[in-house]
Structure 1
Amino acid sequence: MAESEIVFSITESPEGGFEAQALGVPIFTQAETMDELRLSVRDAVRCHFDETDRPQVIRLHVVRDEIIAA
């Protein structure tokens, strides 16, 4: 039986765009925009899992570092 959910940690790439790393599963993808990243993540999950093992939900956890002056 497949897990019902897979979680991706989303970060801004130093080169621009966004990177997505699955937690607990070796899936990584990147894209220039969040809309493109959503499509890329969905495609990566479909490629990684068989249809019977595929999670039902993909959760994107956006991690954003912000630096401010002290």
Structure 2
Amino acid sequence: MVAEAREKSLVLHLAANPNPISIRVTDATADDLEPRLIQIVRNGHTQVVRTADGKDFVVNFGHVVAAHFE
């Protein structure tokens, strides 16, 4: 039996938008980003995030006030 890739959501709370943005990502992407997420937000890095459907989503974390995975 082949294991399916599960998905998580990266939830971004932007400074200028009261509604959070949710980006579906694979567990592999979440496992890569999660340990560095605090530092990425703190430093305001621009980061490419691979979405669950295989596309690249560029996030300017300089505009993100909070981020977490669900």
Whether the TM-score (by the shorter chain) exceeds 0.5 is: no
Q: Which has the higher strand share?
A: 2
Of structures 1 and 2, the larger Rg is shown by 1
Q: TM-score with structure 2 length normalisation?
A: 0.28
Q: TM-score with structure 1 length normalisation?
A: 0.28
